[in-house]
Amino acid sequence: MSLTQAFVLALIQGLTEFLPISSSAHLALTPWLFGWKDQGLAFDIALHFGTLLAVAIYFFRDWMQVIAQGCGLRLGHDPELKRNPNLLWLLAAASLPVGIAGLLFKEYAETALRSPWVIGTMLIAVGLLMYWADANSKRNKSIDHITLFDAMVIGVAQALAIVPGTSRSGITITAGLFQSLDRSAAARFSFLLSTPAIFAAAAKQFLDLNKAGGVPEAMVAPMIVGITVSAVSGWAAIGFLMIYLRRASLRAFVLYRVFFGIIILALAFFRHPAG
């Protein structure tokens, strides 16, 4: 893998993991469109670790307060988080569905479902669902009003993100809107919920890599580039989206998803994925 390829894929991962436009779609289709070989397990780990750093650093203070409150300590800076002292356990419960789905269906999702037809369809379908939720949600609840039922609905939605083209942030923000969360609260809970899921995925891949013999020497430099670029771009994407959703709707992302999905389906008529 060249450093240019590593940079491009890491930039795509960092931006699309947190914007509601599907990182799996972009990462699956970029090598297909450019004729690149699969980046391999080592580089996948680098991308996951980079995005884990991005969300952990951006929400570090939130996580410290959530963990402290979950342990019975009344610490922290954020009044909304203080009013929901059980948020740690809500996040833990909401993480169960994606863990179960990953164990049962991850291999199937990464093989049979990793096709332009599935990706294009999911880009469009989830985009339209996102539009419906954004247009019809009451948006009258902040993060301190999240209940166990709200958390589990969002957690089940996150499990659907194993299907390529869905978007973890897109489907969980949409579920949050359906539960009447305001856009900012839905995004904030979505990103907090993504942290353990990304950590678990990176840890599983790391164990698999160790069993396979560790990091190939030729992949050390691309992995460093991958971690750095995905972390920086992911942190920037989170910051952008959190600010953007305070004053704007999801319509721009809906339009992007629908047009991108149509393009993918059209391309699938004329060419086949690189073997």
Q: What residue segments make up the domains of the chain, in order of their start?
A: 3-270
Beta bridge pairs of residue 141: 181
- Cα 96 from Cα 94, distance rounded (Å): 6
**Count of CA atoms in the C-beta half-sphere (13 A) of 141:** 19
Helix 183-211 × helix 41-58 angle, to 10°: 140
Q: How many helices (H) and strands (E) are present in the chain, helices listed first?
A: 12, 0
pLDDT tens profile 198-251: 998 888 888 887 887 777 788 889 899 999 999 999 999 999 999 999 999 999
Backbone angles phi, psi at 181, to 5 degrees: -70, 150
pLDDT tens profile 70-113: 998 888 889 999 999 999 999 999 999 999 998 888 778 777 77
Q: What percent of the chain has pLDDT over 70?
A: 98
Contacts of residue 119, Cβ cutoff 8 Å, sequence gap at least 6: 22, 24, 25, 28, 29, 164, 165, 261, 264
pTM for the full model? 0.91
Residue reference for tokens 């059980």: 86
- Cα 26 from Cα 119, distance rounded (Å): 9
pLDDT tens profile 147-160: 999 999 999 999 99
First to last CA, the chain: 17
DSSP letter for each residue of 64-115: HHHHHHHTT----S-HHHHT-TTHHHHHHHHHHHHHHHHHHHHHHHHHTT-S
